[in-house]
Amino acid sequence: MSSFKTVVKKCRDFYGKHEKYSAAAVFALGFIWDALTLRRIDNIWDNLILLGYLIVIGAVIVLNLRFECGAAIHDRLRRAAPRFPLAMQFCFGGLFSSYVVFYFKSASFTRTAFFFLLLVGLLIANEFLENRLQNRTLLSAFYCFCFFSFLAFFLPVVLRDIRPCIFVLAGVVAMAISFLVFAFGLGGKWKSAARQTAVPIAVVFLFLNTLYFANLIPPVPLALKTGRPYHHVEKTPAGYKVKYVPPSIFYFWRSWDNPFYWTPGESVYCFTSIFAPGGVRVSLLHVWSRKTEAGWTITDRIPFSIEGGRDGGYRWYSRKTAVVPGRWRVQVQTQTGQILGEAAFTIKRSDEPHELLESLLE
């Protein structure tokens, strides 16, 4: 028993000595936990947890506003009021951490990286906002942003549709709920709620729609899982059989060619697997481009359709016969131009026959 007390005392002493680092440690552990435990973006339990965070934040906002307005509140809730900002900060942290994980899977490190980096910035900033969440302007903007970001991928999963109008609908619903939460918290004082929250909520709505139609927001819930160039792709009963030149020992982990050694007359294949929620069917493009002195020049737009539900993603490939040496990329885009990701590689001419090609089942 004494040994147990000794361990407890050492733990308390260690915590007291390093207490100033506790917030950063909890933040890091929480993010790692989300990254390891969050499953698919269409998983009902994950989405219910996120919705629960939003409901808790909304309830805390209402209680806090009622408390500030002098409304009758149960003594236990009144005693807990000083901890309301901490509870909201915890829930906002859980939301931003989950969004970073989900949006990272759909972000390509091109234009859509902007929104991903914005989420990372908000995730970090949330750790320093406990004492500022009493500001109704900031709080209403934060709440609307989080609700909008959640509905942007939740509604497509529920409605099984990924058209732009669904994104706009997500924003309208987020605006309405955010305003109603503050109006209810102020005791139905609609004019007062409008004066304090209408502008920040509208700014968030316009800001996110601007990013979306400028193709700066990842096309969640779609995600590119694999994008690679191959010398040959063939569909078999066991899966897709791909062929590539075995890499050198210095690149033992690579199962594709880069640089891609091409012999005249040979075709270049681009194999991709794209995740989409079950029941969702969407049209996409393989956009082949070559780097020239004027920049990236599009050579081909090859349309195809996918149907969601497969854990490993919907597999598809395109083939190009007319190529020249140089830098190439194949982007996977939606019909509206949003980029899911890309396969970038360099083609080098090789007049000698390839070594024995290695096969792999995808």
All structural domains of the chain, each given as residue ranges with its CATH number in brackets, are: 38-213 (no CATH), 223-361 (2.60.40.1930)
Which distant-in-sequence residues (6+ apart) come within 8 Å of 354 by Cβ?
231, 245, 261, 263
Rg from Cα positions in the chain: 25
pLDDT at 192: 73
Mapped onto helix, strand or coil, the DSSP state of residue 343 is strand
Which distant-in-sequence residues (6+ apart) come within 8 Å of 301 by Cβ?
285, 286, 287, 288
**Block mean pLDDT (10 aa), the chain, length 362:** 60 58 54 68 88 92 77 59 71 84 73 76 68 76 93 93 93 95 80 81 95 88 89 89 79 75 90 90 95 94 90 90 93 89 90 71 70
